[in-house]
Amino acid sequence: MTGTKQKRTLRHMLTAVLLKLVILYGLVVLLVMLLQRRLIYVPTKLSAGGAESLAGNAGLVSWRNVRSELIGWRLPAATASTGAVLVVHGNAGSAADRSYIAGPIRAAGAIDVFILEYPGYGCRPGNPSQRSLIAAGEEALDLLSDRAPLFIVSESIGAGVAAHLAGKYPNRVAGLALLVPYTSMVELGKRQMPFLPVAWMLWDRFDPAKWLEAYYGPVAVVIAGRDEIIPPDLGRRLFDGYSGPKQIEVVTGAGHNDVAEQTPDWWRHIFSFWRSHAAAAHAK
């Protein structure tokens, strides 16, 4: 009887420990689920004056919608414009601090550069989410409907916004440059948190690989070889899966934040690639 009681006691103890572990795991899942957007989106919030000052110091001027609401910043071409670039930035910071992308692009040619601010970033009201970022991107595309050719440059999470716009409005997007992109947020989440049921719990499921299936214009992909946030193979898989005109550059020693700042000469090469393929792609 003593041995039987000991076995029962041990069984009860193991069951109790297992139950506590299951409850703890459930609490972790619930906590991450509730806080997921705070983990995904890391905006720099600014007062209107602070944003104007930061942008103004970089030569950026305000970009407003038809309701006179600030939706981002623009860097006008130094001479008569021959096209426009829409920049959709990454998950951190704000549009006002993206002059390191806008400046070299503008210097590469007679190009107007528009940097979209996401809801909840900078001094723009609202909350960031897949829905709000995509809605902001669609509004920006509508405001730029008279700008042609229009190219889109994305950084990190912005690949989701860029791919959505290109896939939904393929005739309006003449080319893409995707800096440190990914296949989907679900795949990225699985890599970053493999111990969680990401496919079940993720709300914002940006899916660049899927959305680009409806696009046929030229796409340039830049991968950071030592990316500590987005595994480089996700960018490679996005590139491999795209069936339109494409080119890839892997910066072998670079981290996640090391590839967005390029030279005007580098951007001239991208413009050459875009323009050499855009006419053929849009003829389809």
Q: What is the C-alpha to C-alpha distance for residues 254 and 250, in angstroms, rounded to an integer?
A: 9
pLDDT band at 279 (very low <50, low <70, confident <90, very high): low
Amino acid identity, residue 33?
A: M
Q: pLDDT tens digits for 80-120? A: 888 999 999 999 999 999 999 999 999 998 999 999 999 99
Between 230 and 27, whose confidence is greater?
230
Region 205-233 average pLDDT: 97
Which one-letter DSSP state was computed for residue 184? Answer: -
23-27, 140-144, 182-186: range with lowest mean pLDDT = 23-27
* pTM of the shown model: 0.92
Average pLDDT over the chain reads 93
Q: For the chain, count helices (H), then strands (E).
A: 10, 10
List CB contacts of 190: < 8 A, sequence separation 6 or more. Answer: 198, 199
Q: How far is CA 123 from the centre of its chain?
A: 19
Is the bond into 104 cis (omega within 30 degrees of 0)?
A: no
Mean pLDDT of all residues in 49-53: 95
- Whose CA is closest to 130, among 160, 87, 166? 160
The percent of the chain in helix, strand and coil, each rounded to the nearest 5, is 50, 15, 35
> Token pair of 20, please?
């506590």
- pLDDT given at position 2: 64
Confidence (pLDDT) at 75: 96
